[in-house]
Amino acid sequence: MSSRRLVDPELLPFLEAFPTLNITAQTLPKIREMRGVMLAQLPPLPQSVLAEVVHVPGAPGDPDVRVRTYRRKQGGASRPAILHLHGGGYILGTPDASAPFCAQWADAFDAVVIAPAYRLGPETSFPGNVEDAYCALAWAVKNAAALGIDTSRIAVAGESAGGGLAAGLALLVRDRGEYSFCHQQLIFPMLDDRTAVRTDISPMYGEFVWTNASNYFGWSALLGQPPGSDGVSPYAAAARAESLKGLPSTYIATGALDLFTEENLDYAKRLMADGVPVELHVYPGAPHGFMQLASAQVSRTYARDAMAALARGLGAAQSRS
């Protein structure tokens, strides 16, 4: 049974624009090439925002990490910061594609946005991705005075694999105890490798955009072993964590037709049970990545909710300009 009848009618053009692909090792290079071409179509950034690229030291023995930063040209002296981790199933994507809304955050919240180009699978398996993200955070804290960052107000955010990486990084930051996050913003996060080997998932989940076939490939590429194996680190798959206590306030959003709906709901329940403040939204009729069709009412509702939650998490006023 198809879930197409449940798709919000306003989102049907989104499904036509982003046809569902089952990604494999053979198709991955071409899909990466296609996404690279799309970067040229991004809108220009607002004149009020300064965007820069820096290369920060990687973990010992690892290469430097390319990081894009965004901040208001005329900003305050003590600003919140957002570490943004892009999506792409742990196998696709760059921070460059997220430039429009990273710049929007910088402008709206007078925030410093840090967006690292973490290493992808299958070329680099875990823990390369999370260590790259950790190094970007370490650099931001070390350079907080020069960047104008209030280190008590640093949030981590991401979509899909970026949301899963954000959740894993939040666990790693909690456990290492060197730094801290004030908030985590998880948008249909990819949290649980065991989803890729489930046979009992309803066909109402994951029919469009990101399927469980692609999910299996993405997790295999990240882990360097089959998903569902014993001993997978919670810093790779946050749902594997034994305890979620001590994590920062959390916003989780997903679509009702997303492959990750069940694992997102379960993670939210576990966070609440462990005493973490949680705001959870499930948007009806919405498949994975739905907000890319920004004109749909459900996407506008999501955008309103997400911006308000991020403002609260940062303790920041939201610019109305």
Provide the pLDDT for residue 321: 46
- Rounded to whole angstroms, the Cα distance separating 30 from 296 reads 29
What was the pLDDT predicted at 77?
A: 83
Q: What is the DSSP secondary-structure string of 1-13?
A: --SGGGS-GGGHH
What is the C-alpha separation between 200 and 173, in angstroms, rounded? 34
Q: 54 burial class (0-12, 13-18, 19+ CB within 10 angstroms)?
A: middle
Map tokens 């890319």 to a residue: 292
Distance (Å, whole) CA 273 – CA 266: 11
Query: Alpha-carbon distance 238 to 111, whole Å?
Result: 27
Q: At what angle do helices 128-142 and 161-176 cross, to 10 degrees?
A: 60
Specify the DSSP element, H or E, that contains 62: none
The radius of gyration of the chain's CA atoms, rounded to the nearest angstrom, is: 18
Alpha-carbon distance of 14 to 291, in angstroms, equals 9
Bridge partners, 251 (sequence order): 185, 279
The answer, yes or no, to whether residue 320 has pLDDT greater than 60, is no
Q: Does domain 4-228+235-314 have CATH number 3.40.50.1820?
A: yes
Virtual torsion, Cα 205, 207, 213, 214, nearest 10 deg: -100
**Residue 44 DSSP label:** P
Return the SS3 of 136: helix
DSSP line for 290-306: GGGSTTSHHHHHHHHHH
B/e letters for 279-310, b = 16+ CB within 10 Å, e = fewer, are bbbbbebbbbbbbebeebebbeebeeebbebb
For the stretch 219-276, pLDDT in tens is 999 999 999 999 999 999 999 999 999 999 999 999 999 999 999 999 999 999 999 9
8 Å CB contact between 148 and 78 = yes
Could you tell me the end-to-end alpha-carbon distance of the chain, in angstroms, rounded to an integer?
A: 46
pLDDT single digits (tens) 89-148: 999 999 999 999 999 999 999 999 999 999 999 999 999 999 999 999 999 999 999 999
Q: Give φ, ψ of 270 to 5 degrees.
A: -65, -40
Which pLDDT score is estimated for 41? 83
21 pLDDT tier (thresholds 50, 70, 90): confident
Quick: pLDDT tens for 31-73. 999 888 888 788 899 999 999 999 999 999 999 999 999 999 9
Residue 47: left if φ>0, alpha if ψ -120 to 50, beta else—which one? alpha
Residue 142, helix vs strand vs coil: helix
pLDDT of residue 319: 65
Q: Average the pLDDT over 186-214 and give the result.
A: 97
Alpha-carbon distance 38 to 101, whole Å?
16
Query: Residue ranges per domain, the chain?
Result: 4-228+235-314
pTM here is: 0.97
CA dihedral in degrees (144, 149, 154, 160; nearest 10)? -90
* Residue 147 main-chain phi, psi, to 5 deg: -85, -15
Distance separating alpha carbons of residues 245 and 179, to the nearest angstrom: 16
pLDDT of residue 286: 98
Cis ω for the linkage preceding 122 (within 30 of 0): yes
